[in-house]
Every structure is written in structure tokens, then in C-alpha cells.
Structure 1
Amino acid sequence: MPSYVMSTSTFDTNGSTVAVSAVGLRKSYGDKVVLDGIDLRIPTGSVFALLGPNGAGKTTAVKILSTLISADDGQALVGGHDLAADPQGVRAAIGVTGQFSAVDGLITGEENMLLMADLHHLSRSDGRRVAAELLERFDLTEAAKKPASTYSGGMKRRLDIAMTLVGSPRIIFLDEPTTGLDPRARHTMWQIIRDLVSDGVTVFLTTQYLDEADELADRIAVLNDGRIVAEGTAEELKRLIPGGHVRLRFTDPDTYRSAASTLGEASHDDEALTLQLPSDGSQRELRSILDWLDAAGVEADELTVHTPDLDDVFFALTGGTDQTEESAR
């Protein structure tokens, strides 16, 4: 990557600081273009989720921004440090938890923590203090003296993140952190992420679990074939996709037929006795529909509002593709 200073400000237009900003990041392996000029702008103290099918370039983006590999072109600032000119400054500001656990199963949880403390050049006393605090924070104190190989998947993931936090990073990259975890362990990890953000930490999250992005992320970008094809809040992305509707269900066939005749433009399901009216799910449109139904004398037994979810967004924007990502990338 060329060594030059980004012209992009480290402040947003509203005056808030920007933890990660990138312009035109590109990366290819031979003829395979993995990232095709992506732009990012992530406010400090927020959760940013990068979604995409396998092979879309998510892990490559994380590796570039965490200095593990270099981009072929583009500019980036991470924690206020130029990625090309000051990689050491970037490394000092970040923590990285990859797809595969960095935990050494042959030693105890405590020894894993102390090893990280040594790597961060903490004194013996500071290292033990930080390790003990983090093991307690992540509910691992009782297991601290046991070999990490005996830990459950959720415990190993918690230890992995605890190890990442030894250096007190202000920006953390979590590359598919809940893959393979059971629902309880996933929800525990979600709470850990929320707690980190409440402390002012910025979290860059890659995930294939769309409910995870919906639950955690302040902003979401969808990456496909190396390009960001959409970005916004979860609600903004959902509004990009048509298909929202209001569903009216009736229990009396005569009432249903009368309503179907009155609402001729509605979609009919004669077997289920339901009518379906297009709607974007907004409060204004729902109020308009309710007023219209009242004026038409239509009284349904049940009214439900359906809006597109992130699954719909994902498949619409990526075409449902699922490529094979080379393990090295």
C-alpha cells in the first residue's frame, strides 16, 4: 500500500470521532479480485457489521485493516493511525479475534492470559492483575487453572476475547466470533459485545448470522464480489427490499368474502381466509390503511404487519450466492 496521508477527516460531520475510515481498498490474488475498492467510515464506540457470503472478502478486509496483510491500493486510518505509514500505531490501538481460536489448549486459561500479558510487555504484577480481572469479567475464574482444551466452545470464545483485551484495545475486530456456538453461548457473546461498546470500544464484526447483525450493529454493510452493495442501519437496509405487507385474517367465510370484494386490489388466500395489502410498515402508512379499512367497514379478526428482514435483504443483494473462500484469505 502506498505511504501517504489520507485526506479523509477523523471526524464525522456531526463532530464525532471516526475509529476506522478507508477509501478505495483493493486486494487481488492473481486474477482473483477479492476487494474491489471498498470505502468504510465507522464512528467510535459503535458496532459495525460486515455481511457477505463466503468468498465475498470479509476476512480479507479484516486482515488488511488489522495490518496482517497489505492492500494493493487504497488508503485507511485505524484509530487515527495511517495503515501504511504507521502500522505499529494501528497494532497498538486494536485487538483481533479471528474465525479460529487463538487459545492454546495445552496450557491453562490463566497461562494463556499471562502469555498475552508478556506479549504486551506488561510487568509480572500488572500481567497477573489484568489476567485476573479479565478472567473474572468473562466468568472464567473457576476454570482458570484448568487446561483450555477442557473448555466448552463458548468458554474458549470468551477466553479468546479476554486475551484480545489484555492490551486494552479501543478497536476490536471480531471475525465471525459466534460460529459454532450454541444459542446460549451466542447470546452470552452478544452481551459481551454490548458491554465492550458501552465502555467506548469500537467493534468491527463480520458475521454470516443475520440476526446477529440485526441485534448488535449500529450500521451494516453488505459485501458481495468484493464490493459493498449496500450500507445503512438494519431498518434502512430492510426498506430497500419490496415485499412488506399487512395481512388480514378472518374466521368467518362470509365476512372474508365481503372484505375481499371491497378490497379488490388485495392478494387473496381463500383457503386461509386472509387478505394481503402492500405496505412499507411505516406508522403513517399503517394509520392510512386502518382508516381506509374502517371507512370500508372491514373488520378483520387479526391484523399483522410483515416487513422484509435481513435474510430478504441478504438474498436480494447477493443473489443467494455462496462461494468457497480460500482459507488463506
Structure 2
Amino acid sequence: MSTMDQTHPLHPFDAILLVSFGGPEKPDEVVDFLVNVTKGSGIPRERLAQVGEHYYLFGGRSPINDQNKALMAALEGELATRGAELPIAWGNRNWYPFIDEALQDLASGGHRRILVLTTSAYPSYSGCRSYRESLAEGLESTGVELELVRIGNYGLDEGFVEANAQAVQQSLVQQPGSRLVFVTHSIPTDMDERSGPVDARGAYTRWHQEVAARVAGRVGAEDFDLVFCSRSGRPGQPWLEPDVNDHLESLASQGVDRVVLSPIGFVSDHMEVIYDLDTQARETCERLGIAMVRAATAGIDPSFVTALVDRMVARAQQVRLGDVLGAPDGCGGAGCCPNARRPETAAVD
């Protein structure tokens, strides 16, 4: 896009950067990938090899990379229908292509103002600020001169809620009378308490509760639960509970014999979905005699893709009106989701 094309819906941006977690493509990449994920924790490689066993169940390959490629293709299609085509680059925090590589490629291609989309819908340190820190680190390490402007957190956006509601409705048609159980990634309770802007902490749990309530309302479910998966970290450190498997035990004791698990905390079928839910939770259900259907993630549902592009267009308009550094809708800006261990760590606003 020419910098003079002021009629472009995404003016003044000249490229989009999709930022994601990353994942291994083959078995001999698993441990090195986990080294990146756990950087600074001191976990020995031998222990990481054990931690990575669930990757080996799927050929040592994470599904996340293919899903990011599918999302980019879907975004390109939606942008094209609006006459809003822009190049889309892709960079990961923990595996190839890394963020710094994407930034270098963008700069080499002559791009200067970049609209950033992260594949994490909710505010928290791990899901938001850590990516902002990685972007700042990438700018510092590469020395490139790029202006990065984020579209913000989008978990409460109508299109994301609608995509999850449609997936749940399809699952309930498949298995009527099921208890509706929403699932997201557990995080330390103190991280949840610090999530969100200064005047509205606890946003991680609060946003999930709102999404769950809105989805349940659309499908006519009066009873539903919000539970958590993928707990890690030190055994004595409090994390958000209940764990999905513990909750299934509780439901079985209450006579519940069928459930729909809806992974509203994930934008696509990450490893936490295909292992923690499709594998572990399903095994728990089979042992307990509970029939289980797992609802689809938002993925590339048209409602979700449309919502992302809507947010891009709105962010571009905000910048055109002069609010270059103002926080995007749904994000608390500089004070949001602080780094409790190293508060001085630089982060893209």
C-alpha cells in the first residue's frame, strides 16, 4: 500500500503482524521448543523431555502453526472483500518463525507502520504483556525502526462470542441434555489478580465469566461451569481452579452423564485443547461413564475473522484521528497486566 493512499481502510498501516506462541514441527524440536517456553526457570532438559511426552503422542508436531497459516489465509480473504489488502507477516515467541525474524523481514520489505494481532483473546501477563515484552525485545535486538500498534484483546468482541456460541449449539444438537462446561487455560491466582488495567484488575477471570454467560445465554443453557486446564508451575503455587478433570469427577458424583466441553479460552485447537481436552479429559469421561462432546474453537469461523478485521479497521481509524499511542478497545495500555517479577521490563504499548 502506498503511504499516500489515505482511502485505504487500514491507512496509515502498511502491513499486519500476526504474533503467536509457536510450536514444534517434528519430534527433535520438542525439547528445544520447551527450553524457549520455560526460559529462565532452570528446568533441566531431562525434565523437559518428560514434559514434552504429550507432543510425541501427536508425532512431535503442534497443530498451532497450521492453524496460524489458516487464520492468515482467512484474514487475507476478508481483507480482500473490503478492499483492505495488506501483507501479513507472522512471528512467534517460542519457535520459528520468531518475532525478531518477522520484524527484520518487515523492515527489509520497506514496511514501517505495523498493525499487530496476537492469538490470545484475554488480558493477562502470559496472554498479553509477555507478547508485548517480546515485541519490544525484538525491536531492541534487531535495531529495526518500526512502529508497532496492537489491536488489543478481543475476547469480549461480538464475533468471538458468536463463533463459540455456534460451536456450542452444534455440540448440543449432537448431544442434547448435556451439561455445558467452559474451559480455559489456568494461570497463577496472583497473575489473575493483576490482569487487566489498574482500575479493573482480575480481568482474566471476569472476561471468561462474561463470555461463558453470553454463550450460555445464546444456547439457552441455564446451568454451566467455568473450569481450567493445563496447570503447570510449582506444586505449592495457587493456580485457578477447578481443574477440568476434577470437575468432571464432581459432576459424575452428581449424576451428570453427558457434557459438552467448550474451550472458550483458546482461539484455535492448540496442544492444550487436543491433549488436555480431547485426550486427558476424554479419558476421564470414559472412566466415569460420561458421554463427552468437545465444541469447536473459534478458529477461522467467519464471525470471528470478521470481528478481527473489524477491530483492525477501528484501530486504524483511532490512529488516523490522532490517538497513535492510546490503548485499543479492551486493553488497559501501559499499566495493564504488569510484570510482577521484573516491572522494569520494556513492553510495546
TM tier relative to shorter chain: under 0.3
- Which structure has the larger Rg? 1
Higher relative contact order (CA 8 A, sep 6+): 2
Give the alignment's TM-score, normalised by structure 1. 0.28
Higher strand share: 1
Higher helix share: 2
